[in-house]
Structure 1
Amino acid sequence: MSRPHPAVWLRDEPPPRRPRLTRERITEAAVALLDAEGVPGFSMRRLAARLGAGTMSLYEYVPAKEDLFDLALDTVMAEIDLPEPATARPPDWRAELTRQAVQSRRVMRRHPWMTELIGTRPLLGPNALSRSERFHAALAAAGFAGAELVAAAGAVSSYVHGYVVTENVWRTRMRDPAEERELRRRAQEYLAGESGRYPVLSEHSRLEDADFDAGFRSGLEIVLDGIAARLTR
């Protein structure tokens, strides 16, 4: 006579098997590791430890560390919203460029490692290309073409990238608001005392102003004004 099968609640069940790795899961962990450690602290060994996997098993899905950088970059590019156009008409070029520039800065502030990889890796992933397509299409609809279109797009992108690089470095090294205010005050005071040697800097610099948001928007408006002036020629 066979023994009765015990109820599930009375049995010690073996732990479920860990699901196999996927490229998506590896990429998600890579983004988290880059957020935590930056590019210098990134390694396949550390990534494998986060996933609870063997280092060599990662290479079955991603052949090289650089491939993970490409995948991670394109994943976070999706955080730049790409809403459907409200109408069939070409987008307002200035509004479109402003929207993407502002959001790009936010994403690069959220993931500081992006500024280190952008420019060293080709941005050919679907998320990056779809946003670049919208960016360039707005300029094309405004009247730019060829080399001038590329230059106009590059001017905005380079401004955003350069601004965020400086902002990220500053925020990394200057974490205490009170210390920052004191440093800015002393620097402004120093320039005031050197007005004879640096009259323009002394008169116009606003070193005590720590409003990065306003500074970014003001600089962006100047870049866009230059593009607009070019269109009127």
Structure 2
Amino acid sequence: MDSIWFRDGESPRKPRLSRERIIEAAIALLDAEGVNGFSMRRLAARLGAGTMSLYEYVAAKEDLLDLALDAALAEIEIVTDPDATWRDVLTRQLTHSRKVMLGHPWIPALVGTRPLLGPGALARSEQIFAALDRAGLKGPTLTAAVSAVSGYVHGFVAEELAWRSRFRDPAAEAHLRDQAEQLLRDRASDYPALAKTFRAGEADFDSGFKLGLSIVLDGIETRLSEHPSAPTP
């Protein structure tokens, strides 16, 4: 993959624009139009510049997607409290990750397809890996734990964004939830567990995310207690 992060020494030739200004405009365009609506022509129009002038600062559209994604990920909080436990670090970073992704709804569409090797992304990955390494996870278990928590956050937010884009009217959303519960009551003999336990009207993204993240972290904590190793000082 020919990623911008593998190339050194690239610098804009002309000061009329700036890479920083272009990245800022790229993020604004992605926020407004999403990945499918992003193009160099539209970005140039937003900047009041010629399309070809952008190529004085980046080699390709893919470079801009990488740069915009990394700049957006850099908005995620870095936990600086030296006394924070591994669980505190992950909870705070991942909770803020959801907030940032909701503010930039195009992030989930890119994180699985772009090399997350920019300074913003690497600093956030470093914090999670370091916290779990200090807690005592090692090797494949550490990698799997990071994958589990990141997969939970990205999957949850992607589903949340899809739902929010479909149901913008709270009344329409409440009506659908009522219909879902009624359907399960009507088919209780076919789906007894769902009819007994599922309460669509009680669903709430904020509390659901918090509880789900807690369950994922409980699993990591169980693994640590079952397979203890000396934490890194």
Q: Please, what TM-score do these two structures have when normalized by structure 1? A: 0.89
> What code does the residue aligned with 2:95 have?
V
After TM superposition, list the pairs within 5 Å mapping 1:12-51 onto structure 2. 20-51=16-47
> Partner of 1:214 in structure 2?
207
3-state DSSP class of the match of 2:16? Answer: coil
2:152·2:213 contact (CA, 8 Å) conserved in 1?
yes
Whose RCO is larger (CA < 8 A, sep 6+)? 2
3-state DSSP class of the match of 1:156? Answer: helix
Task: Describe the superposition over 1:162-183 as per-residue Cα deviations: whole angstroms up to 9, x where unpaired.
Answer: 0000000000010000000001
Tell me the CA shift for residue 83 of structure 1: 3.9
Give 4+ residue runs of structure 1 displaced > 2 Å after superposition. Answer: 83-87
Alpha-carbon distance between aligned partners in 2 of 1:206 and 1:151, rounded to the nearest angstrom: 32
Alpha-carbon distance between aligned partners in 1 of 2:206 and 2:80, rounded to the nearest angstrom: 26
Tell me the CA shift for residue 82 of structure 1: 1.2
Alpha-carbon distance between aligned partners in 2 of 1:213 and 1:110, rounded to the nearest angstrom: 15
Alpha-carbon distance between aligned partners in 1 of 2:183 and 2:223, rounded to the nearest angstrom: 39
Alpha-carbon distance between aligned partners in 1 of 2:109 and 2:152, rounded to the nearest angstrom: 15
After TM superposition, list the pairs within 5 Å mapping 1:1-233 onto structure 2. 20-87=16-83, 91-233=84-226
Identical residues among aligned pairs (%): 61
Alpha-carbon distance between aligned partners in 1 of 2:117 and 2:196, rounded to the nearest angstrom: 45
Alpha-carbon distance between aligned partners in 2 of 1:96 and 1:192, rounded to the nearest angstrom: 42
Alpha-carbon distance between aligned partners in 2 of 1:209 and 1:167, rounded to the nearest angstrom: 15
2:79·2:89 contact (CA, 8 Å) conserved in 1?
no
2:70·2:121 contact (CA, 8 Å) conserved in 1?
yes
Which deviates the most, 209-218 or 33-42? 209-218
Alpha-carbon distance between aligned partners in 1 of 2:57 and 2:91, rounded to the nearest angstrom: 37
Q: Please, what TM-score do these two structures have when normalized by structure 2? A: 0.89
- Report how many aligned residue pairs link the two structures: 212
Alpha-carbon distance between aligned partners in 2 of 1:211 and 1:174, rounded to the nearest angstrom: 14
2:79·2:93 contact (CA, 8 Å) conserved in 1?
no
Extract unaligned runs of 5+ from structure 2. 1-14, 227-233
> What code does the residue aligned with 2:126 have?
E
The structure that has the greater radius of gyration is 1
